[in-house]
Amino acid sequence: MRFLLDDEQREFARSLDALLTAADTPAVVRGWAAGDHAPGLTLWRRLADAGVFALAVPEAYGGVGPLPVETAVAFVELGRHGVPGPLVESVAAGVLLGGVGGPAAKEWLPRIASGTAVVSLALEGYGPYALDADVADAVLTVTGDELRLTRGAGGATGPGAPTGPGAATGPGAASGPGVPTGPGGSTGRPAPTGPGAPTVSVDPARRLFRPEPGGEVVAAGPGVREAARAAGTWATFATAAQALGCGEALLRATVAYVKQRTQFGVPVGSFQAVKHRLADTLLGLEFARPLLYGAAVELADGAPGAGAAVAAAKVAAGEAGYAAARTALQLHGAVGYTEELDLAWWLRRARPLRDAWGTPSACRARVLAG
């Protein structure tokens, strides 16, 4: 079976590619890793304007979703350009809140869809960390049948925060109702606090935090567990798309490099061993692509096997992306290690994307379980 995008979906991919190319994402990634979130959050707003965060939010809450195929299209581009931030987590949070409904959904889903809120997420079975919790307006956690929400200090730096001279932009800054806005101002109400220091990650632009204990219980019951299962599946799916895009970017950069680097008077890309390595890398990525879009179709149809299809796509895309990173590192030689080269940020991201929201072993087990 062939999975072909329609004209509208291809145009969506082209528009995102143009937007992200113009945004100088390598500089955004470097800033994000250093704790300067302002450029990344500016890009977040632009992605929201393009409709990215509305794709998984139900129409009843201001979204256009769920649209799995369009989500795959978007996240392949986000992975290709290395966009930082809790992108997957915000989309999965939309699925989670849409599943449980209630006041929390009414408050947060329109904000997620419009990009005025950054939300991170931690679910049982997917590791103990919430990505970029220091910049999030809210962190959602699910334990058993309880959904808890911790309001963060992200309002100080989030997409709806003030900008310009004097605006607070640091991770511990606060803004909004009840927070001092002038020199010496005080309201007598405590400012939000951050989640503490991040855990060291292979990718410095993936800032991992353990969610703060406690938080407000916003939903409870068996429906929470079911919604969390759906959110986890969507997070796995979006991460698979990111991994595929990351691998494509690595392969593209490597092909360009071996055409330029010469040895014995000819480009190293003309050597048969190099050609075979690049061909194997391309095959891995191209075999992963139909699995990803096949999983998107099953998600859209609500098929019983959608979870297993997503897991298969995650294994294929994650392994292909990581193989592309190893190929890129070998064929770039010593220059591939240098942080000055933008390629280094994609190299560091491939391994975490392979393991995030479903390790290869966990996903293989899910496939075998059917």
SS3 state at 208: strand
DSSP 195: -
Q: Which of 108, 101, 121, 111 is nearest to 219 (CA)?
A: 101
> Global pTM?
0.89
Q: What is the pLDDT along the chain (370 residues), one digit of tens a residue?
A: 567 899 999 999 999 999 999 999 999 999 999 999 999 999 999 999 999 999 999 999 999 989 999 999 999 999 999 999 999 999 999 999 999 999 999 999 999 999 999 999 999 999 999 999 999 999 999 999 999 999 986 644 456 544 433 343 333 333 333 333 333 333 333 334 457 788 888 999 999 999 988 899 999 999 999 999 999 999 999 999 999 999 999 999 999 999 999 999 999 999 999 999 999 999 999 999 999 999 999 999 999 999 999 999 999 999 999 999 999 999 998 787 788 899 999 999 999 999 999 999 999 999 999 8
DSSP letter for each residue of 221-234: SHHHHHHHHHHHHH
Q: Who contacts 304 (Cβ-Cβ below 8 Å, separation ≥6)?
A: none
SS3 state at 151: strand
Tokens of 91: 């989309």
Q: What angle do CA 172, 174, 177 make, to 5 degrees?
A: 160
Let me know: does 108 contact 102? Beta carbons within 8 Å: no
Q: Who contacts 67 (Cβ-Cβ below 8 Å, separation ≥6)?
A: 55, 56, 300
